[in-house]
């Protein structure tokens, strides 16, 4: 058992390390990349060479050194600081930060920030957030956002549209669960998909397939942990040839003739 004095010492040490790490992190962004001048938290340009210290590359706004998001467009600045440290010609030639994925992820951070700082426009931000996740095929996160939207904004004019989006994202998410042998989870997601949009024929078809597979039980294959093998010290170590491990066969699941034969018995909500 630690004494109270020992516990206090450990806590104080952790606080000191955290403060030191934070200070070091701030000092990194506080130094001019060109002339190494050390600026103050409220500086926007280097006092020595006029180099921008924390410029948004989206709208070109000069932000304070201590800002994490752009004061004008709310884009996250951490990535901007990294990109701005690379020569502009190299950045342009390699199209750094211009991919669809990179742009979407930056916008996701921006929208998450705005959701907390501007709650009056939360409906708009949450809708845009769902669309960005749809853009990068992040179906599980997209589904969670749409369901949250439907719960928080029941009077929204976008309710019907969002229900269709949610139904589709749940259906696509269920494919991953099915491929992993988690049939009962796939059934759960597909039931919700059909509930939100009864006209989703593909969701109904896969609900029948997944229900049939779920009746035989889930088939999640867990990879056993590798056991540590003690090797005696010697000059040369002979490593035995690794044997191929054949995964157990997965039974093919027959597709039903019609979507009407959907068995949803045992689904939980």
pLDDT tens for 71-95 read 999 999 998 888 888 888 888 888 8
Domain annotation covers residue 28: yes
Domain annotation covers residue 131: no
Domain annotation covers residue 45: yes
Per-residue pLDDT at 219: 87
The residue ranking higher by pLDDT, 12 or 141, is: 141
Domain annotation covers residue 76: yes
Least confident of 12-16, 137-141, 150-154, 255-259: 255-259
Is the pLDDT at 26 greater than 70? The verdict is no
Query: Taking a C-beta distance cutoff of 8 angstroms, is the pair 29, 20 a contact?
Result: no
Query: Taking a C-beta distance cutoff of 8 angstroms, is the pair 243, 163 a contact?
Result: no
Per-residue pLDDT at 36: 83
Domain annotation covers residue 72: yes
Is the pLDDT at 260 greater than 60? The verdict is no
Most confident of 54-58, 153-157, 233-237: 153-157
Q: Residue 67 sits in which domain range?
A: 24-98
Mean pLDDT on 62-76: 94
88-119 pLDDT tens trace: 888 888 888 888 899 999 999 999 999 999 99
pLDDT band at 8 (very low <50, low <70, confident <90, very high): low
Domain annotation covers residue 85: yes
Domain annotation covers residue 90: yes
Query: Taking a C-beta distance cutoff of 8 angstroms, is the pair 32, 46 a contact?
Result: yes
Mean pLDDT on 230-256: 40
The C-alpha atoms of residue 221 and residue 56 are separated, in whole angstroms, by: 47
The residue ranking higher by pLDDT, 215 or 234, is: 215
DSSP state, residue 55: B
Domain annotation covers residue 39: yes
The residues near 115 (Cβ < 8 Å, ≥ 6 apart) are 122, 125, 126, 129
| Number of independent structural domains in the chain | 1
């Amino acid at each position: 058992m630690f004494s109270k004095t020992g516990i206090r010492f450990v806590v104080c040490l952790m606080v000191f390390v955290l403060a030191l790490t934070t200070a070091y992190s701030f000092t990194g962004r506080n130094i001019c990349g060109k002339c190494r001048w050390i600026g103050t938290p409220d500086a926007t340009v280097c006092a020595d060479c006029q180099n921008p210290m924390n410029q948004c590359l989206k709208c070109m706004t000069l932000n304070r050194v201590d800002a994490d998001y752009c004061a004008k467009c709310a884009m996250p600045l951490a990535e901007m600081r990294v990109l701005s440290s690379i020569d502009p010609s190299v950045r342009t030639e390699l199209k750094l930060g211009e991919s669809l994925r990179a742009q979407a992820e930056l916008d996701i951070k921006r929208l998450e920030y705005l959701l907390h700082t501007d709650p009056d426009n939360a409906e708009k931000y949450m809708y845009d957030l769902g669309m960005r996740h749809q853009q990068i095929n992040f179906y599980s996160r997209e589904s969670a956002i749409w369901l949250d939207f439907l719960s928080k904004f029941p009077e929204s004019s976008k309710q019907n549209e969002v229900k269709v989006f949610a139904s589709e994202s749940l259906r696509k998410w269920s494919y991953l669960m099915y491929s992993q042998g988690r049939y009962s989870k796939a059934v759960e997601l597909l039931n919700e998909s059909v509930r939100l949009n009864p006209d989703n024929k593909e969701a109904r078809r896969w609900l029948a397939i997944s229900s049939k597979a779920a009746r035989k039980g889930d088939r999640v294959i867990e990879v056993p942990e590798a056991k540590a093998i003690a090797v005696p010290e010697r000059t040369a170590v002979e490593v035995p040839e690794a044997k191929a491990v054949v995964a157990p066969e997965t039974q093919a699941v027959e597709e039903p003739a019609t979507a009407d034969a959907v068995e949803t018995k045992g689904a939980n909500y």
